[in-house]
Amino acid sequence: MAIGGKRLRGKPDFFLLVSIISLIAIGTVLISSASAVVAQKTTGDPNFYLKEHLLALVGGFVFMYFGYRVDYSYWKKIAPILIIGSIFLLLMVFVPGIGFEHGGARRWIKWPFFFSPTEVYKLTLIIYLAAWLEKRQLEVKKFLYSTLPFLVILGITALLIMFQPDLGTLMIVSAVAGTMYFVAGARMSHVIAMIGAGIAGTALLIKTAPYRMERFMVFLNPSADQSGAGYQINQALLAIGTGGLFGLGFGQSRQKFNYLPEAESDSIYAVAAEELGFIRVVLIFLLYFIVAFRGFKVAKNAPDAFGRFLAVGITSWIVLQATLNIFANISLVPLTGIPLPFVSKGLTSTLILMFASGILLNISKHTEGDTRESRLHRRGNWWAHLTGFGRN
């Protein structure tokens, strides 16, 4: 049924839903194998972390259903409240007795349970930017009205995250925000300048922190310090190389036996490659590709600007984070400690990503007919950037 060029489908995008569920299922199976050794060593129960993950999935599916059932336009109404609340949570990590420090970083809150505020901030920032960009889409090319305030938002974000510090999360958040700004119709000169400033800023952050510089040098030459700073990446590369084309078989990973750090979280892709082999692990690439393709298609066909920007933000978040994690495990980028979406173990990451997926599926219930009115409505947005469609 079409009304004013818009057609309500009433059902979520089937391929998007199946791809997300498949990634969750693959992640659960991999966690059952990758976490068994460390769980046995630390708790005496080889299935301890698997049980934790299954409980997280129960909550995750509740969150996912809630995100799907609530009309996505509702989040625009409370976007300012959400962003203020998430900033408050980011500040709480520095409060003694509430924040938790591990490995020199304060990224977690331990009351009433352990969770990472930055995962919450990723989604709330996407929602806030989607609402913010919708209001400025007709003047997004103006520096003072749009670009400068956008840089102020990113600057505040950078300060909050780098006080923890968490360069990997900052890279993801900045890339997602930049993608949303680009598809909103920003000037290419502004986008290129921001990319250059981002590269320069990242280089400065690496240079001014010895441990980041050490990681970067290991990235340039992984074999330079195999027992020190290069230990994790070398073990990950060894796992991937050992797996070859067909893998050692499920549950047969050798590196998970206290050789590969964070085998059930940051390094789970390496365990997957070792046990399943390159041919089977390509399925993970394919599933993320489907999520990207269907997610951006949802954005293209969303009935309003807020829905388009929100779908672009959520999709680019999932895809960019997955890319960064996989590239880090095969030494194409320095290690960042970023989990693999839907696959790695992690309570907050699981809950928030599944909630965001529910929102994306809710947007997918709405499609837009290709009328002249709808084409004009898309003028200057991300589709115009990619195809030149709708430009003068």
Q: Provide the domain limits for residue 106.
A: 32-383
pTM of full prediction above 0.85: yes
Dist CA 54 CA 374 (whole Å): 43
Asked if residue 10 is part of any domain, the answer here is no
For the ranges 94-98, 166-170, 378-382, 384-388, the lowest mean pLDDT is seen at: 384-388
Q: Cα(157)–Cα(155) distance, rounded to whole angstroms?
A: 5
- Digit-coded pLDDT (tens) for 287-342: 999 999 999 999 999 999 999 999 999 999 999 999 999 998 998 888 877 899 99
359 occurs within a structural domain: yes
Q: Report how far residue 341's alpha carbon sits from residue 102's, in angstroms, rounded to the nearest whole number.
A: 22
Dist. CA 336–CA 324, nearest whole Å? 8
pLDDT at 377: 46
Give yes or no for a contact between 23 and 285, defined as CB atoms under 8 angstroms apart: no
Q: Which amino acid is at 282?
A: V
**pLDDT reported for residue 391:** 38
Q: Over the stretch 143-196, which tens digit does the pLDDT of each residue have? A: 877 888 888 888 888 888 888 878 888 899 999 999 999 998 888 888 888 888
Give the model's pLDDT for residue 103: 63
Pairing state between β 99-102 and 105-109: antiparallel
The answer to whether position 281 is within a domain reads yes
Q: Confirm whether 203 is domain-assigned.
A: yes
Whether 115 is covered by a domain: the verdict is yes
Residue 336 counted as domain residue: yes
Q: Is there a domain that residue 390 lies in?
A: no
How many domains does the chain divide into? Answer: 1
The per-residue pLDDT of the chain, averaged, comes to 85
Q: Taking a C-beta distance cutoff of 8 angstroms, is the pair 181, 334 a contact?
A: no
CA distance 221 to 241: 17
Amino acid identity, position 99: G
Tell me if 4 is assigned to some domain: no
